[in-house]
Amino acid sequence: MNNNKVIQVEGLTKMFGDFTAVNAITFEVDKGEIFGFLGANGAGKTTAMKMLIGISNPTSGNANVAGFDVFTHTENIKKNIGYMSQKFALYDDLTVRENITFFGGIYGLSRKRIKEKSDALIEELGLQNVANKLVGALPLGWKQKLSFSVSLIHDPKIVFLDEPTGGVDPITRRQFWELIYKAANQGTTVFVTTHYMDEAEYCDRVSIMVNGKIEALDTPKKLKEQFKAENMNDVFLKLARG
Amino acid sequence: MKTILYIIQKEFKQIFRNKGMLPIIFVLPLLQLVILSNAATFEVKNIKFGYIDNDHTSTSRALVERFNASTYFNVLTDFPSEALASSAMLKGEVDVVLEIPQYFERDLQNEKHHRLGVTINAIDGAAAGVMNVYVSQIIQRFNQHVKVDLLQPSDQQIQASNIDTIPLFWYNETLNYKTFMVPGILVLLVTMITLFLSGMNIVREKEIGTLEQINVTPIKKSQFIIGKLFPFWVIGMGLLTIGLIIAKLIFNVPMVGSLPLMYVYTSIYILVVLGIGLFISNFTETQQQAMFIAWFFTVIFILMSGLFTPIESMPKWAQMITEFNPIKYFVEVMRMVMLKGSGFIDILPQLLKTFSYALIMNGLAVWSYKKTT
């Protein structure tokens, strides 16, 4: 396989009974790229993502993530990826530091490394004052940023973000994207789904899913040209309305 | 191994941080042990006793006085007529009505046989049987002075007066029901707490979404499950310990057998319960579902455990079902070891069955927990 392609997907399909949730999607993602994975609600984004992160078995097709096959080597994939779900998934009844320690421990980091990572992460996010507070008491925006940083704790090759900025204010969203850029600059590939079309503009390349199929895939600039649209919002509306 | 420690550490933090759950785990069960062990008695006391005296002689009054003197009977009413006695029985005001016929004293003096009518409320058949025995005993003793024949369901049971039985009650000489009940109730509490905690725990992580986050990590299934269940195993053993102390200090239940043996058995037994809890957890999506299923099994397990009703008196098919009831084995072992002083060899059959059960349930639990669906 090409070392620059960290995700290679070919004809990947997921069926639930008669319903085809993901219909033979094909795409590739380069190393260090920010790849926007767009689509309306129910288009199949989350299902597709769950196959790539190894928690949902594909029905057919091929896919290779971080060099491992999604059918046979899901556990190897898991060592090399980070994931942040659309539902906040840290423990509300643990403190900031305890959450970081727990996930660091699960990924097999050494005590020393966990300590270093925690300190760096808490400082970077400016959480010094709340480091020993329960996560449940933090505002949503802070939780999301923490959750993103925790998904990067084991320095994964790829991080999958499922609607990471849902429900947070514009300032926090901007700060969040700064974190994403920082991760991408350090060589982490970012695979992100979003509903916000302004965020789609921040991505290197964007795919748009409609009813389980990828209907468009290119850089935001080229997509706007292709669909003769002023912004990504119009591109999306043209596609999603069919 | 290190990964497991991180999970255990996290679980303990969460358990001890949950101020709502702590008393439910540690205080309520022990309150239950104290209350239930005192309340769940098989003894029949305070029997409401009424009589119809058609004789009105010193002999008939002497017979009633015998009942009055007994601690089991509360002598309530002298009914003027049978009809009034029946209606009182219907209303539940009396449990037992004794009818003394006319010419009772005169016939006794003439050494004629006589019949006393005894009516017993038998809605609770077991209690009615016990009441019948008490009534018969009192009348028989009265009969040693004056000859009376009591109308019995079977008239054949005429005791030869020169044969006497002297019962010896082994393992629980004083027939103290608490000695019998406390180990059993302790078994229930250990089972219920560990089953509910383990059954709800993983499903809770499903509900709040953290399980998905765990499933995208490279953690091994067995690591996760061991880390998850170990804290509940510790809690179960802790409950057993506190329960045994209460049994000794408050109820003075004899502990004839070896404590280490009891702990060895319990440590395996709790694994069975945790396996069942985890298995339930894997097949449910919400804590509510898990709770209902756990309850369903608990009720069957408790009623068919031999704790309240002897397994020997169940129909054959029901006895077969009890073979799959882990609580049955635990109750048996606890009573055997605590009251009889049974040793390792005596409880070996139960130990082996429980051990196989633990292997099967935990195997199923690990198998049914899927990181990838």
Domain of residue A160, CATH code? 3.40.50.300
pLDDT given for residue A206 in this prediction? 93
Nearest CA-CA partner of B247 in B15, B37, B74: B37
Q: How far apart are CA B183 and CA B86, in angstroms?
A: 42
| Residue A138 resides in a domain | yes
Q: How far apart are CA B124 and CA B50, in angstroms?
A: 18
B222 reaches A (C-beta below 8 A): no
pLDDT given for residue B175 in this prediction? 58
Angle between helices B348-368 and B326-335 (to 10 degrees): 150
Return mean pLDDT, chain A: 90
- In this structure, the answer to whether residues B241 and B333 fall within a common structural domain is yes
- In this structure, the answer to whether residues B102 and B200 fall within a common structural domain is no
Left if phi > 0, otherwise alpha if psi is -120 to 50, otherwise beta: which for A189?
beta
How many A-B residue pairs are in contact by the CB < 8 A criterion? 75
To probe the interface with A, which of B1, B3, B6 has the most A CB atoms within 10 Å? B6
The shortest CB-CB distance from A102 to any of B6, B17, B215 is to B6
- In this structure, the answer to whether residues B195 and B343 fall within a common structural domain is yes
Our CA angle for A84, A87, A93, nearest 5°, is 95
B219 reaches A (C-beta below 8 A): yes
The shortest CB-CB distance from A83 to any of B7, B10, B216 is to B216
pLDDT given for residue B157 in this prediction? 46
Number of separate domains in chain B: 2
| Structural domain ending residue among the three candidates B150, B165, B185 | B150
- What's the burial of A26, exposed, middle or buried (CB within 10 Å: 0-12/13-18/19+)? middle
Helix, coil or strand: residue B269 = helix
Tokens of A82: 């980070």
Enclosing domain of residue A118:
31-56+80-240
Alpha-carbon distance values, B130 to A77, A170, B49, B142 (Å): 70, 78, 14, 19
Yes or no, beta carbons of A85 and B209 under 8 Å apart? yes
| Residue B290 resides in a domain | yes
A55 reaches B (C-beta below 8 A): yes
pLDDT given for residue B170 in this prediction? 65
- In this structure, the answer to whether residues B317 and B354 fall within a common structural domain is yes
- Cβ count within 10 A of residue A14: 22
- In this structure, the answer to whether residues B290 and B230 fall within a common structural domain is yes
Yes or no, beta carbons of A94 and B13 under 8 Å apart? yes
Tokens 């629980």 map to which residue? Answer: B172
pLDDT given for residue B19 in this prediction? 84
| Residue A139 resides in a domain | yes
Q: What is the DSSP string of A132-196?
A: TSBGGGS-HHHHHHHHHHHHTTT--SEEEEESTTTT--HHHHHHHHHHHHHHHHTT-EEEEEES-
pLDDT given for residue B356 in this prediction? 95
CB within 8 Å of B203: residues ≥ 6 apart: B280, B281, B284, B285, B286, B287, B289, B290
- In this structure, the answer to whether residues B129 and B221 fall within a common structural domain is no
Chain A nearest-CA residue for B15 = A93
State the nearest Cα–Cα gap between A139 and chain B, in angstroms: 17
| Residue A65 resides in a domain | no
pLDDT given for residue A177 in this prediction? 93
| Residue A107 resides in a domain | yes
| Residue A71 resides in a domain | no
pLDDT given for residue B160 in this prediction? 45
The shortest CB-CB distance from B217 to any of A78, A90, A92 is to A78
pLDDT given for residue B307 in this prediction? 81
Identity at B249, one-letter amino acid code:
L
- In this structure, the answer to whether residues B285 and B346 fall within a common structural domain is yes
- In this structure, the answer to whether residues B110 and B199 fall within a common structural domain is no
Q: In this structure, what CATH number is given to the domain that contains residue B76?
A: 3.40.1710.10
A112 reaches B (C-beta below 8 A): no
B17 neighbourhood in chain A, CB within 8 Å: 93
Left if phi > 0, otherwise alpha if psi is -120 to 50, otherwise beta: which for B80?
alpha
Angle between helices B177-208 and B221-249 (to 10 degrees): 150
Q: Is the pLDDT of residue A242 over 80?
A: no
Rounded to an integer, the average pLDDT of A54-82 is 91
pLDDT given for residue B150 in this prediction? 45
| Residue A40 resides in a domain | yes
ipTM for the whole predicted complex goes beyond 0.85:
yes
Q: How far apart are CA B288 and CA B306, in angstroms?
A: 29
| Structural domain ending residue among the three candidates B150, B182, B197 | B150
Spell out the per-residue pLDDT of chain B, length 373, in tens. Answer: 788 999 999 999 998 888 888 888 888 888 888 888 777 666 777 888 888 888 888 888 888 888 888 878 887 778 888 888 888 888 888 888 888 888 887 777 776 666 788 888 888 777 888 888 888 888 887 777 665 444 444 444 444 445 556 666 666 655 566 777 888 888 988 999 999 999 888 899 999 989 999 999 999 988 999 999 999 999 999 999 999 998 888 888 888 889 999 999 999 999 999 999 999 999 999 999 999 999 999 999 988 888 877 888 888 998 888 989 999 999 889 888 888 888 889 899 999 999 999 999 999 998 998 888 7
| Residue A231 resides in a domain | yes
Chain B nearest-CA residue for A59 = B373
- Cβ count within 10 A of residue B92: 10
| Residue B100 resides in a domain | yes
Yes or no, beta carbons of A98 and B13 under 8 Å apart? yes
The shortest CB-CB distance from A93 to any of B18, B209, B371 is to B18
To probe the interface with B, which of A51, A55, A100 has the most B CB atoms within 10 Å? A55
| Residue B319 resides in a domain | yes
B208 reaches A (C-beta below 8 A): yes
| Residue B204 resides in a domain | yes
The shortest CB-CB distance from A56 to any of B7, B18, B373 is to B373
| Residue A25 resides in a domain | no
Yes or no, beta carbons of B209 and A87 under 8 Å apart? yes
Yes or no, beta carbons of B219 and A106 under 8 Å apart? yes
Alpha-carbon distance values, A9 to A49, A80, A83 (Å): 11, 17, 18
Enclosing domain of residue B111:
47-150
pLDDT: which is higher, A136 or B173: A136
- In this structure, the answer to whether residues B186 and B59 fall within a common structural domain is no
- In this structure, the answer to whether residues B203 and B85 fall within a common structural domain is no
Question: Distance from CA of residue B237 to its chain's centroid?
Answer: 21
